[in-house]
Amino acid sequence: MEKRVYQYITYDSEILNGKPIIAGSRISVEYIMELVASGASVDKISEQYPGLPVEGIREAILYAANSQKNEIFITAKVTA
């Protein structure tokens, strides 16, 4: 299994309690995903946050997608 190295995604326990962020910012991967989920495009996010590199925004989306690859979802029907 290949380990991916991210150029723009980092962690710092002093920033947002260690959530993954775009390096050099206080913008979390989680927040980028909330923006995307609300309909924002990479270009729109870049316009709204001009200090964020477009590559960093794209990498945040990739990081979020890759972090879900190891998730296991179980569907169960509960009856009384």
Give the span between the Cα atoms of 8 and 49, in whole angstroms. Answer: 15
Burial category of 15 from C-beta neighbours within 10 Å (exposed 0-12, middle 13-18, buried 19 and up): middle
When pLDDT is cut at 50, 70 and 90, the band that residue 1 belongs to is very low
More confident residue, 71 or 44: 44
pTM across the whole model: 0.81
Over residues 12-63, the pLDDT tens digits come to 999 999 999 999 999 999 999 999 999 999 999 999 999 999 999 999 999 9
- Give all domains of the chain, ordered by start, each with its CATH number: 9-67 (1.10.10.10)
Q: Is the per-residue pLDDT at 79 higher than 90?
A: no
